[in-house]
């Protein structure tokens, strides 16, 4: 089995209480069967608390969707009391993800995590991927499926190469990878209103997203007939790394799910949302001037993080977006 990882994957380490957010609030936390069985055997007061707070295969959330084992310092009581090996699968692995395509396994980090997003954006060179042997079990594919897989991965590799070619003007790189030209700034959609309307059709994860979407709507309405401009937060290197990473995470899944064009166009759609509406997504008031590079970095991370959570972590939303952007 060949294991592929993006160039920043092995640098990742959860920042725990130093994180401005927490992945233990706002999510339904499913518990795998092996962890549930282990929790049933934990003795003492903490064992009683574990069992009391498990319901229908997940943790019973507190008000504001807070995990019952998240302490006042945003640290995990299960980790503190029982150790990392006692975490359920989703808590131990998040924000990591894995996809398997026959004898190829690909790992990555979800961009709903601010540390993962920071590592992606801080890279000074085009995004690259490492490959190594691993002992994981492969999925069986017949010869026809292997041939199709290789064609899909080859097509994806051409997108990576185009986005990484710093000798090529950035607009030409976009055209080679996506067929995008400057004449259609909101590609694959026609304009900012179309972009907003597609976002408005998605299922909201909560008030934070609702407020961001309202800010996007207000900016579009305030602009009237004036063009919506790129807010200029993302460098060409950051943009190319973000686009390549979104292609890495989603495009090859067309092998199982179809919508190849929709999955390709999703990367472009995501990038356009964050570059045109960086401040609205991050919750920065229009009259609040930047106070330095560090703040700018946090704004970019905040914008990507909220959009990733809204779209990439909801199967219904991903299917809706990919179908809408599919040219098949």
- As a dihedral over the C-alpha atoms of residue 293, residue 270, residue 254, residue 104, rounded to 10 degrees, the angle is 10
* Rounded-to-integer distance, Cα 257 and Cα 266, Å: 14
pLDDT of residue 171: 93
What's phi and psi for 76, nearest 5 deg? -85, 125
pLDDT of residue 294: 54
pLDDT in tens, 240-275: 999 999 999 999 999 999 999 999 999 999 999 999
Residue with tokens 């259609």: 184
Tell me the percentage of the chain whose pLDDT exceeds 70.
Answer: 97
Q: Residue 17's pLDDT band (boundaries 50, 70, 90)? A: confident
Mean residue pLDDT of the chain comes to 92
**Could you tell me the pTM of the whole model?**
0.90
Q: Where are the alpha helices (DSSP H) in 180-314?
A: 192-200, 207-223, 236-250, 254-257, 260-276, 278-282, 293-311
Q: By percentage, how much of the chain surpasses pLDDT 90?
A: 75
């Amino acid at each position: 089995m060949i294991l592929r990882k993006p160039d920043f994957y092995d640098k990742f380490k959860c920042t725990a209480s130093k994180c401005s957010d927490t992945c233990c609030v706002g999510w339904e936390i499913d518990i795998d069967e092996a962890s549930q069985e282990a929790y049933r055997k934990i003795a003492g007061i903490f064992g009683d608390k574990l069992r009391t707070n498990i319901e229908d295969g997940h943790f019973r959330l507190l008000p504001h969707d807070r995990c019952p084992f998240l302490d006042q310092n945003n640290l995990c009581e299960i980790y503190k009391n029982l150790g990392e090996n006692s975490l359920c699968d989703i808590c131990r692995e998040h924000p990591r993800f894995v996809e398997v395509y026959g004898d190829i396994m690909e790992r990555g980090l979800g961009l709903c995590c601010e540390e993962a997003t920071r590592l992606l954006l801080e890279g000074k060179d085009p995004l690259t991927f490492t490959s190594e042997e691993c002992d994981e079990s492969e999925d069986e594919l017949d010869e026809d499926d292997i041939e199709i897989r290789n064609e899909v991965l080859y097509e994806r590799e051409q997108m990576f190469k185009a986005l990484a070619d710093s000798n090529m003007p950035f607009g030409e790189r976009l055209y080679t990878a996506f067929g995008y030209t400057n004449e259609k700034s909101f590609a694959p959609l026609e304009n900012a209103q179309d972009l907003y309307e597609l976002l408005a059709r998605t299922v909201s994860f909560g008030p934070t997203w609702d407020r961001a979407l309202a800010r996007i709507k207000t900016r579009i309405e305030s602009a009237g007939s004036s063009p919506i401009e790129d807010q200029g937060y993302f460098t060409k290197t950051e943009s190319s790394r973000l686009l390549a990473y979104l292609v890495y995470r989603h495009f090859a899944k067309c092998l199982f799910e179809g919508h190849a064009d929709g999955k390709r166009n999703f990367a472009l759609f995501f990038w356009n949302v964050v570059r045109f509406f960086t401040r609205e997504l991050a919750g920065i008031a229009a009259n609040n001037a930047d106070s330095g590079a560090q703040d700018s970095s946090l704004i970019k991370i905040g914008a990507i993080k909220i959009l990733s959570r809204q779209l990439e972590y909801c199967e219904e939303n991903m299917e809706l977006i990919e179908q809408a952007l599919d040219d098949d």
